[in-house]
Structure 1
Amino acid sequence: MGLTGKLTAEIEYKSGGDVFHEVFRYMPHEISKMSPELIQGCDLHEGDLGSVGSVIFCKYTHDGKEKVSKDIVEAIDEEKKLLKLKVIEGDLMELYKKFDATFHVETRGDIDLIKWTFEYEKLNVDVEEPLTLLGFCIKLTRDIELHHASK
């Protein structure tokens, strides 16, 4: 069993992949309004919203526990509607030496899919795969979709 891993999930998204990308890129501070059960706040700490190198601090609830994460935006690809975040501080760093989360929007025919990918390196073999965190991102995607569908 290795220490490095990669997990991926694809979720059909009916509220427009462009909207999903824009929320994460330009309005992370609004996500807590769309999914208050999961996200209690996201604040810009450094840089400019929507820019590579910006640092975002989030408070969230995962597996019933309040947690925090400080992430740097490592990559943005407007054409692929891609955003890559690298966790640099927070609760995940107690389990992982490296943790990157990427999402991008794929369009197949007239269906938009949000594809989440985690790439990580565990601190030791006893650390579980981040499956519940992937479930968290799926739920977050659904919450954002429901928020926009109700408008």
Structure 2
Amino acid sequence: MSSNLGKIDVEVEVKSPVDKFWNGIRDSINLFPKASPNEYKSIEVVEGDGKSVGSVLLIKYTEGFPLVTFSKEKIESIDEANKTLVYSVIDGETLKYYKSFKGTLTVIPKGNGSLVKWCCEFERANDEIPEPQIIKEFAVKNFKNLDAYLIGA
């Protein structure tokens, strides 16, 4: 296994019930820019319907977001029963640093709320590239913002 392969796991507890949060994730095109306006400029569907496997989303980030102005993400698989979504980054600055970048997101019930599990597997372009710590922090913030938005909505 190459030393440039890496993996990050994040778990975030949210107050939203599991169905509500999963639906929020599935409607990321509309909800992410509303829930996190400081991070997202817009999310557009460039291929497919934005929800089914093979769909490609163009995500534009705000000026305040470091290093990355946009990314294209492709939905690789969806398991509605287990509330799991797998996507990969297929374009954008992220790929300057990481040859491959794949995210898996699962929402599971926890008490009255949910536990969001996010895992990303990546291959660094070279040894100098750090672990994508900033992406990890962004993911946590994103889930918390979405949760706050859903509870307030």
Alignment TM-score > 0.5, same fold: yes
Corresponding residue to 2:102 among 90, 100, 103: 100
Residues in 1 aligned to 2:34 and 2:98: alpha-carbon distance in whole angstroms: 29
Extract unaligned runs of 5+ from structure 1.
none
CA distance in 2, matches of 1:108, 1:24: 17
Change over 3 Å in CA distance of 1:143–1:132 after alignment to 2? same
TM-score calculated relative to the size of structure 1: 0.91
Give the equivalent residue in structure 2 for 1:114.
Answer: 116
Q: Which residue of 2 aligns with 1:29?
A: 30
Give the match's secondary structure for 2:149.
Answer: helix
CA RMSD across the alignment: 1.8
Quote the residue 2:53 is aligned against: 52
Shift of 1:23: 2.3
User: Does the Cα contact within 8 Å between 1:29 and 1:43 map onto a contact in 2?
Assistant: no
Aligned equivalents of 1:49, 1:33: Cα separation in 2: 17
1:69-108 to 2 correspondence within 5 Å?
69-108=71-110
Question: Which residue number corresponds to residue 17 of structure 2?
Answer: 16
Sequence identity (%): 33
Letter matched to residue 113 of structure 1: L
Unaligned runs of 5+ in 2: none
What letter corresponds to residue 143 of structure 1 in structure 2? N
Separation in structure 2 between the aligned mates of residue 108 and residue 31 of structure 1, nearest angstrom: 22
Query: Match of 1:49, SS?
Result: coil
Give the Cα–Cα distance (whole angstroms) in 2 for the partners of residues 66 and 122 of structure 1.
16
* 1:141 aligned counterpart, secondary structure: helix
Q: Would you say how many aligned residue pairs link Structure 1 and Structure 2? A: 151
Is the partner of 2:69 in helix, strand or coil?
A: strand
